[in-house]
Chains A and B, each alone.
Chain A
């Protein structure tokens, strides 16, 4: 069952290359995404075994990925209708195939129990995403793709080196063979691993997967990739991919922490993660003010939230890790909602091509369509993390844990979050209620706007009603990986 979930999108990808028109391709893509979503729910009943064996984190993040994949695919139908003339048929075919490859690779990365498979999944997703970013073939898209390729390639190389070092560090405990590459076996034997080698491995893993998670010194590719690629694939689907990298960092961090706690030679992972997390947070906070392109702006917001999650993992302890995981889930829901409604907003203003997402261009959206404007405003407000946004709950947990465990770090964290929230709220007013550019025509809201509302409602329910099943899974894993 679980293998089917992963390989359905990967195997179906070439078939999407056969459709005669981009619209048919987009519809088939949506049907496939629907199937994949149903399958990610079915995985709860049969989590697999061996190399591909979903743990509780894999299950819940897999379901979120499936859900985001489905709503993105539906948004994509409307996107293709509007954007059809901009790309040739061949490129649309490749584009739809890449949508499925990214989805399948993300699921493989979430479900893999093997550190080698995890690496291969991230590599495959990076190649597919790069191809997609280069799709519009404008000079700036090519520049973004090249940046993504080089930075992503270096990150992948470092991650592979780290993966091999983890294998080597596990030799004293597990010996040669597959056991030394399985997360389950590694976690069970973390105390017996070679601590100093494990520390070295973690540095490589952190910088390798940190590139994919867009942590501070390695974030360069992300804003460009967000702004230049075909919107649905490079933005809305990139949230789940970031989760894969962050979860990998969390799992390796646990190995280091467990070895340290058991008296091994490993260094505690906290300071590394706290430093990178705070650096990402402040980099985003200070970069917000100068952005004029909305997608680039929200790209920096992804860097911010990735940093917050890394920070929470650095604080450590079951509650902080729980806060970090909840933060990742909510951020995935809210960010993909926001980017989807942004595509709609750009369509209301005439074009969804890159370069048509400037704040000055989208300003005063309420004059184009009231419903879309309110949803966009709500999504931006949710992203700022003020109550009643879902992110408030997770940020509250993280801050209270920080005060308890390392009080000195709570001040910069609070300051960074505040700066980011102010930067986002400053743009909210003009974007939704400001004076519209001349010759603005009113438009209609479509199905995807309702889906975005569903995303936001889900985020609020998840954060404040705390339904028992996901919370149980998350807290169970947070305890295991603290």
Chain B
């Protein structure tokens, strides 16, 4: 039981640290690598939870995470980076130090909100939940501090890793594998959407700060 605790927390902690380092990265290629690592650790965490809870569904979640999020999605993202020639650093809406301070604040909020309100829950779930919420909030922060569409997507992907981390920690929750598949469909649409929407053709770059056409026309 103790091993279950410490290993699950270790992996949760690694995922959190990786989510945090997304904030400091300004190069897309490095962001993708960090995301890939996060997905790898997440699949390991899913396998471990499946083993600890004797739940076949969680193995399935782990397999899906490993196959698609840790391998296929990063390949697709790298393709986009290469094709759109976005190797150089992307612009951030606020200084990196500032966003990291905000990130620390968000982790504090997550811990302060989750720990007191889950006193009666099993402690494994409790701390996992605090970590998962931190990862979710950090992902949202990445989405708001980046102007580049692809960087926003990576932030969203990281948010989604936090959601799956929370889901695999829930004791005996049905539909976990289905949830992760449903989220994947959404993610796939997002990534394909960059191609599909052909944002580059219309806006020249993937920089979304110029995307205020509607506001400008004041309709």
Q: List A residues at the B interface (Cβ < 8 Å).
A: 116, 119-120, 123-124, 127, 130-131, 134, 137, 139-140, 142-146, 149-150, 153-154, 156-157, 160-161, 164-165, 167-168, 171-172, 176-178, 181, 194, 196-197, 199-200, 224, 227-228, 290-293, 296, 358
Q: Which of B125-160 contact A (CB under 8 A)?
A: 125, 129, 132-133, 136, 140, 143, 149, 152, 156, 159-160
Determine if A157 and B160 form an interchain contact, defined as CB atoms under 8 angstroms apart.
Answer: yes
- Asked if A143 and B173 sit within 8 Å, CB to CB, the answer is no
Q: Are A161 and B152 in contact (CB under 8 A)?
A: no
Q: Does A139 lie within 8 Å of B203, measured CB to CB?
A: yes
Q: State A345–B159 Cα separation when bound (angstroms).
A: 44
B114 x A200 contact (CB < 8 A)? yes
Whether a CB of chain A sits under 8 angstroms from the CB of B67 is no
Contacts of A165 in B (CB 8 A): 129
Cβ 8 A contact of A146, one of B117, B118, B174, B199? B199
Report B's interface with A, CB cutoff 8 A.
Answer: 113-114, 116-121, 125, 129, 132-133, 136, 140, 143, 149, 152, 156, 159-160, 163, 166-167, 170-175, 178-179, 182-183, 185-186, 189-190, 193, 196-199, 202-203, 208, 211, 213-214, 217-219
In Å, the complex CA distance between A296 and B118 comes to 43
Closest chain-A Cβ to B146's Cβ sits at a distance in Å of 11
Q: Which residues of A contact B185 (CB under 8 A)?
A: 123, 127
Q: Are B170 and A168 in contact, with the CB atoms below 8 A?
A: yes
Known A116-B175, A139-B203, A177-B172; judge A164-B214 contact (CB<8 A).
no
Q: Are A197 and B117 in contact (CB under 8 A)?
A: yes
Determine chain B's interface SS by DSSP, over half rule.
helix
Contact of B173 among A164, A194, A290, A292 (CB under 8 A): A164
A172 to B120 CA separation, bound complex (whole angstroms): 8
A140→B213 contact, CB < 8 A: yes
A172 to B159, CA, bound (A): 28
- CB–CB B163/A171 < 8 A: no
Q: Is the CB of A123 within 8 A of B197?
A: no
Task: Take A143-B214, A291-B219 as given contacts and tell me if A127 and B172 are in contact as well, using a CB distance cutoff of 8 Å.
Answer: no
Chain B residues closer than 8 Å to A157, beta-carbon distance: 136, 156, 159-160, 163, 183
Can you list 7 A-B pairs, Cβ within 8 angstroms, ordered by A? A120-B179, A123-B185, A150-B143, A161-B132, A161-B166, A164-B170, A167-B173
A330 → chain B closest CB, angstroms: 28
Residues of A within 8 Å of B178, CB to CB, are 116, 120
Residues from chain A with a CB closer than 8 A to the CB of B190 are 149, 153
Give the complex CA separation of A124 and B178 in angstroms: 13
Q: How far is the CB of A227 from chain B (nearest CB, A)?
A: 7
Contact B170 A200 (CB under 8 A): no
Q: Is the CB of A127 within 8 A of B129?
A: no
Contacts A127-B185, A157-B159, A296-B219; is A150 near B214 (CB within 8 Å)?
Answer: no
* Chain B residue at smallest Cβ distance from A358: B219
* B197 lies within 8 A of A196 (CB): no
Expressed in whole angstroms, the minimum distance between the Cβ of A300 and any Cβ of chain B is 12
> A116 to chain B: which residues have CB within 8 Å?
174-175, 178-179
Residues of A within 8 A of B198 (CB): 137, 142
Looking across the interface, which residue of chain B has its beta carbon closest to that of A175? B172
Give min CB distance, B75 to chain A, whole Å.
Answer: 21
Q: Could you tell me if B208 and A146 are in contact, using CB atoms closer than 8 angstroms?
A: yes
Nearest residue (CB) in B for A224 is B214
Contact check, B218 vs A140: say whether CB atoms are below 8 A apart: no
Q: How far is the CB of A195 from chain B (nearest CB, A)?
A: 9
- Interface contact B193-A160, CB-CB below 8 Å: no
Cβ–Cβ contact B125 & A168, under 8 A: yes
- On whether A123 and B186 interact (CB within 8 A), knowing A172-B120, A292-B219, the answer reads yes
Please tell me if the beta carbons of A143 and B213 are within 8 angstroms of each other in the complex: yes
> Which B residues are CB-close (under 8 A) to A172?
120
Among B174, B202, B219, which residue has its beta carbon within 8 angstroms of that of A178?
A: B174
Q: What separation, in Å, do the CA atoms of A142 and B196 have in the docked complex? A: 10
Given contacts A157-B136, A296-B219, contact A134 B121 (CB under 8 A): no
Q: Bound state CA distance, A197 and B129, in angstroms?
A: 11
CB-CB nearest in chain A for B219: A293
CA distance A342 to B152 in the complex (A): 36
Distance from A362 Cβ to chain B, minimum over Cβ atoms (Å): 14
